[in-house]
Structures are given as C-alpha cells and as structure tokens.
Amino acid sequence: FAPKLLAGRRLLVTAGPTFEAMDPVRGITNLSSGKMGFALARAAREAGAEVTLVAGPVHLTTPRGVRRVDVQSAQEMLVAVEQHIQDAGVFMATAAVADWRPAQQSGRKIKKDGSGQPPVLDFVENPDILATLARSARALEGALFCVGFSAESHDLLANATAKRARKGVPLLVGNIGPATFGRDDNALLLVDADGHRELPRASKRVLAQQLIAEVAARLPPLPS
Ligand code: C5P
C-alpha cells in the first residue's frame, strides 16, 4: 500500500487563458487551452489532495472530484483565488493571464463611426496573481508552496531562473518549446533553489503526475 502523495493537502490551480473585455461582445485573450492545469488538478486529486481549479474560458470537462470555479478576467481570477486559497498548502499558477486589459470597458458595442478611423484602445496592467500570492503572509511563512510556469520562445533556462526570482516562488516550471498551447504533450524544465532538471517529453497527463510528485517531495511535513 503506497500512501497517496498529497493526502491531507489542499491545492489550488489556475488554468486556461483570461478574457479581457473591451465591450459586451469583444475582448482580448490568448491561445491557452487549459490542458496542463486541468491535468495537474486531476493528478493532484488522484494523489489525494482536495483540489480547487480556477479556470478561465476553456472547453474542458472538470476532472472528477475537483471543485471548479469559472472566471473570465484576470481581476476575477485574482478574486476567486483569494476567496479559495485559505487552508491551501499549494498554489500552482498554470493560467496564461493576460498582462493587460483595456483601460475602459464600453457598456455598449463599439460601432464604426463612419470616419474610417479605428478606435484607439488604452491598456492598463493586470494584477500579477502568482506574485501577489507568493508575497502573501502564508507563503512567506512557508505555509503556502507556490509554483509558477513560464512559456518562453528562447533562452528558457535564463528566463525561467530570472522569473523564479522575480515572482518570488520556490519552483518555476518552464515549458520546453515548441509552443505547447493546445497540444497534448509537453516537456518541462524545473528550476528551484538547487538548480534545474528536465522532465522529458511526455503526455501532459504523465507530466502532471511527475510534477505532482516533485511538488509533494518539496512540501513541509503535515502537522501530526
Ligand atoms: O510573467 P509571466 O506571465 O511570464 O509569468 C508566468 C507565470 O505567472 C505563470 O505561472 C502565470 O500563471 C503567472 N501569472 C499570474 N498573473 C499574471 C501573469 C502571470 O498569475 N498577471
């Protein structure tokens, strides 16, 4: 009998893109499918954790036994994470959060005005959900283990190492190209305080199981 790696733990995962509205029918988003985050939620649940999955707009079914909260924008994602993070011991930020949102959201559909001039949109920066959580009191006390992800087109190790420091997380996971969005497989680069190691190309399901084992091995013991 092997005890489940995450028995007695609570885990919160963000997944998918965010959608930043400019008017009631349009907005900006990205090509994240949510597959890696959903695979992690499933693997964590199978490892015995109580799992909350905060998902942007995706077309995926909720893994069995996982509590799912759907959101649209980065601001809604931050609120949902803050509402559900209490008692969680692990936060995994796989969502591809939009860095910016339109500064104004028109209550009505923006129409062509006949002048031939397209509308000019101003943007404001979105909150950094991962950095916010990594700076929270529970993370600083070591009670919340935060994991960040990184999709880079080049210099993955250097970028992932810098991002780990910038976000203030103990573990940063880089997607090793080619572009992983929507694919069923991936390869990962794990960067932590001791250095880096690679999880070779495999299905997102298998990688999620391996990553959950890596996270479990880094957690402080549960209070007895
Ligand atoms: O800075 P960058 O977007 O590359 O960082 C990626 C990591 O930070 C991912 O773990 C992503 O989920 C998280 N993130 C976030 N909130 C943002 C931007 C990124 O949680 N606004």
pLDDT in tens, 65-99: 999 999 999 999 999 999 999 999 999 999 999 99
8 φψ region: left (φ > 0), alpha (ψ -120 to 50), beta (else): left
Q: Band of the pLDDT at 1, cuts 50, 70, 90?
A: low
Determine the distance separating the centroid of ligand 1 and the alpha carbon of 171, expressed in angstroms: 13
Ligand 1 pocket, residue 126 CB under 6 Å? yes
Task: List binding-site positions for CTP.
Answer: 99, 109, 127-130, 149, 163, 167
- Please state, in angstroms and rounded to a whole number, the distance separating the CA atoms of residues 44 and 11: 8
**So what's the pLDDT on residue 180?**
66
Interface ipTM: 0.99
pLDDT of residue 2: 61
> 32 CA to middle of ligand 1, Å?
12
Distance CA 160, CA 149 (A): 8
Q: Is residue 130 lining ligand 1, measured as CB closer than 6 Å?
A: yes
State in words which class domain 10-101+123-218 has: alpha beta
pTM: 0.96
Residue 90 CB less than 6 A away from ligand 1? no
Sign of the dihedral defined by the CA atoms of residues 170, 133, 65, 42, in that order: negative
Of 129, 154, 211, the one to substitute when testing ligand 1's pocket (max ligand atoms within 8 A of C-beta) is 129
Reply yes or no on whether 159 is catalytic: no
The domains of the chain are located at 10-101+123-218
Answer whether 174 contacts ligand 1 (Cβ < 6 A). no
Which residues lie below 8 Å from residue 75, measured CB to CB, with a gap of 6+? Answer: 101, 126, 127
